Structure 1
Amino acid sequence: MSEPKPRILIVGAGPAGIRAAELLAGAGLVPVIVDEAERAGGQIYRRPPAGFARTAATLYGSEAQKATALHRSFDALVAAGQVVHHPRSSVAAIADGQAHVIGPTGSLRIGFDRLILATGAMDRVVPVPGWENPGVYGLGAMQIALKAQGAALGRRIVLAGSGPLLTLLAVQLLKAGADVAAVLDTAPLAHQIRGFGGLAARPVFALRGLAMRARLAGLYNSGVTLGRIDADANGPVALVWHDSAGRERRTDCDAVGLGWHLRAETRLADLAGCAFAYDDAWRQWLPQADAMGRAAPGIYLAGDGLRLLGADGAEIAGRLAAGACLADCGMPAPDPGEDLRRLRRLSRFAGGLARAFPWPGETAAALPDETVVCRCEGITAGALRHSVDIGGGELNRAKSLGRVGMGRCQGRYCELAAAEIAAAHAGLAGAALAGRLRGQAPVRPAPVSALLDPAER
């Protein structure tokens, strides 16, 4: 009698999750895939609803062929019954070899023998005085609205932050006919030049970024310092900032997009028992894994939730994680040599990005006391500093005393800035010493009934 096939659960149907599913299905397994979107593709290749008029070339630009190839591959797997797909579903908790999933028809539990987490990343945001007002979004949220619905969030938009998405979104909005009033990059040109050596690892992408930057012309400003977002009852009316020479500027607007590259989505990795270490280049805590993505017994990580390497890196990491999973199950797996070499080159490029577009930790640490840091709970920088005065600079202690990071996002938006504030106020030598917020279930807002045993409801 043959042994039962291992049950493989993949969380996330972006580039990493899709490539992992392909390899596993090709080996005769039927992985289960849970994804929060209606249609697979992830954030980078997010798909609009069926019947949407905008073309792939319009939505994804130079990456249109890659996007459509991934979409076709995944759709074919689903149609052939080679994968089980749970769209519009979130994993709220992981425990005892089960994922507690909340979907459109309620909750269910999915057992697994092996788990591949391809949870991706989200906006990394520095609070700006006034950012708690309606009409202030993450850059990723603005891009989602544009890709999924063809909608620009605002009539006159200011984009601020740093990193490739800042430039890319500005160009995408302009192509869609939106009124972009200014693109404000906090990274000085000197820092951007400093990272050029690493960016040369992918010269085509580096040159493509420069070409997009040129299209922005006078809209783009580097080395700026953000002052505040002025708002009335309807939302933003202006963003006040200082240019690289220190002169105060004021740009009228009715919407603001903020983002400083990405932060890895790691809450499920935390619940799954993965180890973490502080990454000095990216100024955030990242889960640890070997080159193939093995992070803990039976747990594999892939994509931006492990290494911030973008869509191409995510595809490679998805194949590697699936290959490691097959090998650990005693099944034939492809030679990973070429993928590992490509991943090293992408890592050099990512290092260049981190140097070119640094996280402005010093700016976060110096936020005025009245600035809201935790938007969910309305916690100001002053209140956080008061918590530090009482309990010290450890971030979980500050959370328990003052509720920072205790809202519905579980600190995803405020944790990094809060750590900078707590560490600086406590006199610690860096945000790493403030620690990280511990992951807790449910990792997404969930009804209590979803967490009960079916017999107890």
Structure 2
Amino acid sequence: MSERAEIVIVGAGPAGVRAAQTLVAAGLRPIVVDENVRWGGQIYRQPPAGDGFTRTKQALYGFEAAKADAIHRTMAALLPQIDYRPETLVWACDPKRLHTLHGGCEMPVPFTHLIIASGATDRVFPLPGWTLPGVYTLGGAQVALKAQGCAIGEQVVFAGTGPLLYLVAYQYAKAGANVAAVLDTSAFARQAKAMPRMLNQPATLAKGLYYVGWLRAHGVRIEHGVTLDGIEGIEGIEGIEGIEGAAGVSAIRWQRDGRRQTLECSAVGLGFGLRPETQLADLAGCRFVFDDLNQCWLPERDAAGRSSQPGIYLAGDGAGIAGADAAELAGRRAALALLDDLGSVAPTLPEGPGAARIERKLASIQRFRVGIEQAFALPDNPAARWPGDMLVCRCEEIDAQTLRDCVRHDGVTEINRLKALTRVGMGRCQGRMCGEAACHLLAQASGQTLAEVGRLRAQAPIKPIPIAPMLFDQDVAAIPEEARDE
């Protein structure tokens, strides 16, 4: 069976790399498809190849430099033994076939077994001014620093909640950027109360505490338990010729204990933790359940990573946020499950634990994650404070009042019905940025829970693609320029 198996791994982050390593050790040659130019995923994102980027791994990844280097070296050693396809976007999934786009060409990728290690994206809640130029997700701010060697602004405020908030602020300040403040919507008392649940991962906890302590020691203002009121803009960007009426960030407004405050800044990094990228699992037919801890719908999987669909396995943050260490373990465990299903003998890897030990380690990390989610809980009923004229879906320019009117006048109680009537979630992002906010608003307006309003069903293409490769079975470069314009 193993000779006939066509194994595809989606994602070359920690989970995907360890899955590939395990399969190669068993004598298999998987296809590894990744959207990025170089392997490593978001957490261990590599800068562009070449001489123009000179920051060391220690500078890029801090405490995680050794882990990043291990992932990078492992994948580099695997390249002769796998079919590695970087810069390849997976945009759809049929039974036993992926649809991918590479170099402007549509390339179907058949599979008998599929490991989805799609990772996570930022969890974003809108607030007035969030569509201004100069407002980035925390992940976007990280990409700018790691992959492009630049900051998102001259005076940056990081706002929201979650461990990533402090990590990105630390990375920026350590790189020499001017971090004006960290505004955490979670109260310090809540974080202190959750501390005992995180003691089973002392090294990880210590790193988080270090980031906070370092920021304070270097004069970065940290405010806990804030309510974000909005981001203010300016009408023009000084120094940019030929741009009239362009907007930028000038300040952020928040309040705490009834005191309203304003802080000048030129950019804002915004995020409320991470959300799993589950669209591909949805298109693959995996069954979903609502997860109270993550406050979102997740694809079902067993302890080994098997989904509800035979031959499809889930690993890493794309199946539930647990961090890079857990992603490595989950990638290895999913590969072992796949080998077991093939009837193959599991390889012995000197640097990797066996299946039973992996599951114990993952269970321990999950207990730690309970503490993390309690410490950095989402704001209570965020949609109640959203003004009617604030955009919720920026792709389709749909404001909060439009959604509320639809609930009030049409009696909408389910998110896909709201989508059909208003087009929320139908734009370029396919609901990745606005879908969760729309669900919160629907739940608040209809008096339901998040679980009761349902989830946005994924539809292909799950990410924007050019139309030309779908119309012409050839390289875009071969299409006449006038046809490309049409």
- Bucket of the pairwise TM-score, normalised by the shorter protein: over 0.9
2:280 is the counterpart of 1:268: yes
Which of 385, 398, 418 in structure 2 is aligned with 1:366? 385
SS in 1 for 2:23: helix
2:329 is the counterpart of 1:327: no
Q: CA deviation at 1:5?
A: 3.3
Q: CA deviation at 1:271?
A: 0.2
**Aligned-partner Cα distance in 2 for 1:234–1:59:** 31
**Aligned-partner Cα distance in 2 for 1:451–1:273:** 23
Aligned to 1:30: 29
Deviations along 1:400-432, one digit per CA (max 9) or x if unpaired, are 11111111111111111111110111121x111
What's the C-alpha RMSD, in Å, of the aligned pairs?
Answer: 1.5
2:337 is the counterpart of 1:318: no
Deviates more, 1:388-397 or 1:117-126: 388-397
**Aligned-partner Cα distance in 2 for 1:48–1:4:** 36
Aligned to 1:423: 443
Aligned to 1:95: 94
SS in 2 for 1:195: helix
CA contact (8 A) 2:230 2:253 kept: yes
Which amino acid is the alignment partner of residue 171 of structure 1?
Answer: Y
Deviates more, 1:132-141 or 1:442-451: 442-451
Deviations along 1:222-254, one digit per CA (max 9) or x if unpaired, are 0000001111233111101113x2211101111
SS in 1 for 2:76: helix
SS in 1 for 2:121: strand
Q: CA deviation at 1:364?
A: 2.8
Q: How does 1:373-392 map onto structure 2 within 5 Å?
A: 373-389=392-408, 390-392=410-412
**Aligned-partner Cα distance in 2 for 1:445–1:137:** 19
Deviations along 1:107-166, one digit per CA (max 9) or x if unpaired, are 201111100000000100111111011111100000011011111011111110001110
Aligned to 1:403: 423
Q: How does 1:140-151 map onto structure 2 within 5 Å?
A: 140-151=139-150
Q: CA deviation at 1:355?
A: 0.5
Aligned to 2:163: 164
CA contact (8 A) 2:154 2:267 kept: yes
Q: CA deviation at 1:361?
A: 4.6
Which of 429, 437, 445 in structure 1 is aligned with 2:456? 437
SS in 2 for 1:92: strand
Which amino acid is the alignment partner of residue 197 of structure 2?
Answer: G
**Aligned-partner Cα distance in 1 for 2:473–2:188:** 57
SS in 2 for 1:184: strand
CA contact (8 A) 2:106 2:473 kept: no
2:467 is the counterpart of 1:448: yes
CA contact (8 A) 1:264 1:306 kept: yes
Aligned to 1:74: 75
CA contact (8 A) 2:183 2:222 kept: yes
**Aligned-partner Cα distance in 1 for 2:116–2:230:** 38
**Aligned-partner Cα distance in 1 for 2:261–2:29:** 57
The number of equivalent residue pairs is 451
2:305 is the counterpart of 1:305: no
Q: CA deviation at 1:451?
A: 3.8
Deviations along 1:9-28, one digit per CA (max 9) or x if unpaired, are 00000000000000001111
Aligned to 2:204: 205
Q: CA deviation at 1:447?
A: 2.2
Which amino acid is the alignment partner of residue 423 of structure 1?
Answer: A
SS in 2 for 1:237: strand
Could you tell me which runs of 5 or more consecutive residues in structure 2 were left unpaired when the two chains were aligned.
235-245, 348-353, 480-486
**Aligned-partner Cα distance in 1 for 2:200–2:387:** 39
Deviations along 1:305-327, one digit per CA (max 9) or x if unpaired, are 11211000000000010001111
Label 1:453 to 1:114 Cα distance change in 2 as closer, same or farther (>3 A).
farther
Deviations along 1:72-106, one digit per CA (max 9) or x if unpaired, are 1101111xx21111111110111131111011252
**Aligned-partner Cα distance in 2 for 1:302–1:202:** 21
CA contact (8 A) 2:383 2:444 kept: no
CA contact (8 A) 1:282 1:359 kept: no
Deviates more, 1:266-275 or 1:218-227: 218-227
**Aligned-partner Cα distance in 2 for 1:366–1:155:** 30
**Aligned-partner Cα distance in 2 for 1:124–1:267:** 15
CA contact (8 A) 2:290 2:297 kept: yes
Aligned to 1:226: 228
SS in 2 for 1:181: strand
Aligned to 1:257: 269
CA contact (8 A) 1:391 1:398 kept: no
Which of 255, 261, 270 in structure 2 is aligned with 1:242? 255
Which amino acid is the alignment partner of residue 372 of structure 1?
Answer: L
Q: How does 1:99-178 map onto structure 2 within 5 Å?
A: 99-178=98-177
Aligned to 1:63: 64
Aligned to 2:434: 414
Which of 293, 301, 305 in structure 1 is aligned with 2:305? 293
**Aligned-partner Cα distance in 2 for 1:381–1:121:** 26
Aligned to 2:356: 337
SS in 2 for 1:412: coil
Q: CA deviation at 1:46?
A: 0.2
SS in 2 for 1:294: coil
TM value normalised by structure 1: 0.96
TM value normalised by structure 2: 0.90
**Aligned-partner Cα distance in 2 for 1:333–1:366:** 53
Runs of 4+ aligned residues of structure 1 deviating over 2 Å after TM superposition are 2-5, 447-455
**Aligned-partner Cα distance in 1 for 2:74–2:2:** 29
CA contact (8 A) 1:391 1:401 kept: no
**Aligned-partner Cα distance in 1 for 2:142–2:75:** 23
CA contact (8 A) 1:365 1:417 kept: no
